[in-house]
Chain A
C-alpha cells in the first residue's frame, strides 16, 4: 500500500516549533523567513484577531479540532532546491510512494513542490523569467518583491475575515507567489505540489497571485498526504488579483488523507473585463470547508467556478462557491458536482450576492449530487441575495442515485458491477476531468477508482 509505505519515511526536521500557538512561535516563523518588520507586525496583529474570533457555528463539525496540539512550523530542508537531482533521496522516495508524480515528473521544469512548510523544489522556465513572470516561494516574496507583496498581501482575504484566515495570517509559511506582467500569457500551467507528512501538524501555506493588465496564467496545485492516526489541519489562504482584462485559472486537485481538516479560504478579485476561473476537485480529507469565491469588482468581469467533491466513509465535504457582483454587466457561472458513498456526506454551500449597481448581471448556478448508497448524505445550502432589479439569476440542483438502466447496460456490455458504477461516476465528473491536463485527468480517474474500491455490494 502506497500510504503505509509512505508512513515509514517520516523525514527529519532542521527546525520545528513547539506545540501550540503563541507570539514566540509567530516570531520564530518570521525570523526563519527573514521577514521585514511590517510582516511580523501583520502576523502578530493577526494572532490577536485569531484569539478573539469565534469558531464558525455553521458548516461542518469542527469540535474535535484542537489548536493547542498542533505544531505550527517545521522545516525539512535548509533551503529551496533548484534542480530535481538535488532533492534529498528520502523526499523523492516519499513522492514516488504516493504514486503522484506522473504529472509532476513531466512538468518538472515548471514545478514548485512544497514539502512540509518549505519549498524544496522550485524552477521556472527561463522564457517566463525573461518575460518578467515571478513564480517563487511565498516565504521569500516579502524580501524579494517587497513593493508588490506589501501592496497586495491581505487585500483580498484580510486577517479579520474568519478564524482560519486569521490563523493563516499569523503562522503562514510556504505557498506560492506569482506575478504576471502586463499582456504576458503564460502558455504552460504553473504547478505546485503541497503535502503533509507528519502527524498532528498544520499546513498554512499562503498563495498570492497577481495577474497584471491583459495577462493570462493557469496555476495548478495538487495535494495528497499519507494517512496518520491523529488529526492534521490544512488552513491555507489563496488570494488572486486579476487586474483589468487579465485571466486567471486556478486548479486544485485535493487528496488529503482522511484525518486532515481542510479549511481553506480562497478568494479572487476580478477587475474590469477580467476572468477568474476556480477549478476545484476535493477528494479525501476528514472534513473540508472550502468555498472559492470571486468578487466581481470591475465592469464586465467574469467568474467561472467548477467544484467537484467526493465524500467517502467518515468524510464531510462541505464545499461550494461564492460570487459577489459589484459592477454592471458582470457574469458568473457555478457548477458543483458531488458524489457521496459509504456513508460520506457532501454539502454544497453557496452564496450569490448582487449589489444594487450590478445592472445587467447574469448568474447561473447548477449543483448535482449523486448518492451511491442509503447511508450517504447530500445537502445543498445556497443563498441568493439580489438588490438589483436588472439581473438574471438562475439556480438549479438535483440529487439522485445511479440509474439502474445505465448500470444494466454497462453490465450487459461485460463490465462488472464495480466497473460499471465507476464508469458512471467518472462520466458524472467528466465536466471536471476534461478541464485538467491529461496527466492530472488520468491521475484523478485513478483516485476515483481507489475511492470506489469495494463500494458495490
Chain B
C-alpha cells in the first residue's frame, strides 16, 4: 500500500486510480471529458483532490456499496466553464466520516448527488460544502439518505455564495427516510449568501414510508419486506433524475443493492 500522494493527469476518457492509493491528486486538462469510477476497492483512499481545468468535464461515480472508507476527504476545484457531475452511493455499516468541498470558478457547473443507506450500527457524518465565488457559477446538491436499524446519520451541506458570485444559481436538497424506530437522522442544510443577484434555495425533509403507498403495494400482493424494498428503491431513484442515460445505467444496479 502506498502512502504517498499519487498524482494523476487524465488523458483518456476514462481515468483509473490505483486500488490501494491513499492520497490522490487528479488533474483534468482543459477541454477534456473524463469519467472517474471509485468503488469499494478504493476503501483505503483518504484524500482525493481533483482539479478540473477550464472547459473540461468530469463524471465522478463513487460506488461504495460494499465497503466504505472510514475517513474520506475530497476537494474538487471546478475551473472556468468546466462541469462536474458527481454521483456517490454509500452503503454504511460502521463508523465513517465523509467530507467534500467543491469550489467553483467563473461559469462552472456542478451537479452533486449522494445516496446514503445507513444500516445496523452505522455512525456516519457527511459534510458537503459547495463554494461559489465567481460569476455565473451553478451548483446543485442532492442528498438522499435512508436510516434503518440503529443507524445514526449526521448530514450537513452548505452552499456558500461569495460577493463575486454574480448571477450564481444554487440549489440544495436533503431528504431522509427513517426506516426504524431506533434510527436517528440529523440534517443541517446551510446557506450563506453575500450577493443579491443570486437565485438560491434549499429544502430538507424527513419522513417514513407513506402508509397509503405501502397499503397499495400490500393490496397488490407484495409482502411488507418487498413493499418496503420497492419504496426504498423509488426514494433513491431520484438520484438519477438529471443524469445522462449512460451514467444512469451505471448507477441503477448499485442503487438496487441499497
Contact = CB atoms under 8 A, between A and B. Distances in A.
Interface of A: 354, 356, 369, 371-374, 376-401
A385 B185 contact: yes
B189 A395 contact: yes
B206 A384 contact: yes
Contacts of A374: 163, 195-197
Nearest to B166: A374
Contact of B184 (A383, A386, A399): A386
Contacts of A377: 192-194
Contacts of B184: 385-387
Interface string B172-215: 00001011111111111111111111111111111110000000
Give me the 9 closest cross-chain CB pairs, A-B, nearest first. Answer: A371-B196, A389-B178, A393-B206, A395-B204, A398-B201, A396-B203, A401-B196, A385-B186, A384-B187
Contacts, number: 108
A372 B193 CA distance: 12
28 contacts: A354-B206, A356-B181, A371-B195, A373-B196, A374-B163, A374-B195, A376-B196, A379-B192, A379-B193, A380-B202, A382-B189, A383-B187, A384-B185, A384-B186, A384-B187, A386-B178, A387-B184, A388-B178, A388-B181, A391-B208, A392-B205, A392-B208, A393-B204, A395-B203, A395-B205, A399-B201, A400-B198, A401-B197
Interface in B139-188: 163, 176, 178-188
Given A389-B181, A391-B207, 10 more contacts: A373-B196, A380-B190, A382-B204, A386-B186, A396-B201, A398-B200, A399-B198, A400-B199, A400-B200, A401-B197
Contacts of B181: 356, 388-390
A386 B187 CA distance: 9
B174 to A, nearest CB: 8
Contacts of B196: 371-374, 376, 401
Q: Chain B interface residue count: which class?
A: 20 to 34
A325 to B, nearest CB: 12
B191 A380 contact: yes
Contacts of B202: 380, 395-398
A392 B189 contact: no
A357 to B, nearest CB: 9
Contacts of A354: 206
A381 B201 contact: no
A78 B68 CA distance: 70
A408 to B, nearest CB: 17
Given A377-B193, A379-B192, A384-B186, A389 B204 contact: no
A386 B210 CA distance: 17
